[in-house]
Amino acid sequence: MDLNGLAIKGNLCMDQPTIINHVNDYFEKLYTSTNQVKPLFDRLEFSKISSEPSTWIKSSFGEAEIHQASVDLKGDRAPGPDVLMYVYNTAGTFG
């Protein structure tokens, strides 16, 4: 689809190669801009958890825990993708 014309710096341009170059330049600058503001986390202090919760977080969970989590879901909720992938990887198929 060709553009019939494009306003470039306030002037109507009808030249297709110029329009294509201008549009390409616009999107290239848009997605490669280095002037974006990015958050810095190097100066933030986070509280650390003790070794017991850390060990619990890193531990594996079993089929019974997954089953209980799915039973505890409210009727208006579906299991998330993690549960579905576990079922798929364990059973080999859905259903």
Whether residue 12 is predicted with pLDDT greater than 70 in this model: the reply is yes
Determine what percent of the chain is predicted with pLDDT higher than 90.
5
HEC letters along the chain: CCCCCEEECCEEECCHHHHHHHHHHHHHHHHHCCCCCCCCCCCCCCCCCCHHHHHHHHCCCCHHHHHHHHHCCCCCCCCCHHHHHHHHHHHCCCC
**Residue pLDDT, tens place only, 24-39:** 998 888 888 676 677 7
